[in-house]
Amino acid sequence: MTETEGHHHHKGGSIILLGIVAAVLTMPLFILLYKYVPALEIGTVRLDHIILFLIIFFIAYYLLKKMRMVVYITLVGGLVVLTITNFSGFYTLDHLYHDYSEFLYNISQSSLRQKFEEHETFFRKEKELRVSIDYKEPDVRNYATSVAVKHFQEDAHLSTNRKWVQCFSIFKEIYSNWTYVYDPIDEDYYSSASNTIKQLNDDGKFKGDCDDYSIMMAACIKSIGGEVRLVRTVVKQGDREIGHMYPEVKFGDVKDLESVAYLIKNVYFVEESKGKSVYYYVDNKGFVWLNFDYNDPYPGGKYMSEVRESEVII
């Protein structure tokens, strides 16, 4: 090997080594920052992820090449800061692990945006429905605040929004204690949330149909400051079409969905959602709503129908 060839070989090896170190430095910064970059999608490709990673990578590469000592000092400083935040509880290694896991989950498994056939029809008996959702009643408020913190508190710190965790807890409690009972024939009977809560005194169970379930869920979510809507649809059963109503809860925008889906699948409803997807609806303002129906034992379960006859925001 000539001196020139050796020089080029050494230079090529140095470039590769710098690239590897830059990539290692890029990953933790990327994982911390990618949530805050607006989503930019082409098909199923997240361009915002690619662009952000390349920007951080080339900055890290340039700094390594020009100011290697500064980068090393910054790296050591970052480790010191992480050590301090870990022991103070502000940002622990557990947080870092879940942020990293969340990123890997988001690039390997996407949630499913539900496509609907939307009808602009009038929501039947809306006035009676709103009266039934008596979320300001003391019994409803007390019950909602109690069950909002009944589940998932040991892992609540993993969510950037505690209200999400409280909505999940309400879903789990109501879903777990609901027994389906039909309405009187040819009638839409709406049981108020305060009346449904009284059923717990009999046997510790709620009882009612999809309307009563939706009313109860909506009242509790609304009572703790959540945003909820009720949707009317039709479900095909053989040759028949059966009317159905279900609740949806607002969980921010598409960027928030990444964290929400990870929390459902990997933290709060691991067994219930195993092998299943998280389904959601995006409204005309870009906000994400998760299905809180009782057909699946976790928020974001599969919709029973692709038809949206009408809806009302509570």
Residue 89 has pLDDT above 90, yes or no: no
Question: pLDDT tens digit string along 31-76?
Answer: 677 777 777 767 656 777 788 888 888 888 887 777 766 666 766 6
Torsion-angle region of 72 (φ positive above 0: left; ψ -120 to 50: alpha; else: beta): alpha
**b/e burial code for range 262-296 (CB count within 10 A of at least 16 → b):** bbbbbbbbeebbeebebbbbeeeeeebbbbbbbeb
pLDDT value at residue 97: 59
Alpha helices by DSSP H, listed for 133-182, are 138-148, 162-176
Q: pTM of the predicted model, to two decimals?
A: 0.69
Cα(296)–Cα(275) distance, integer angstroms: 12
SS3 245: strand
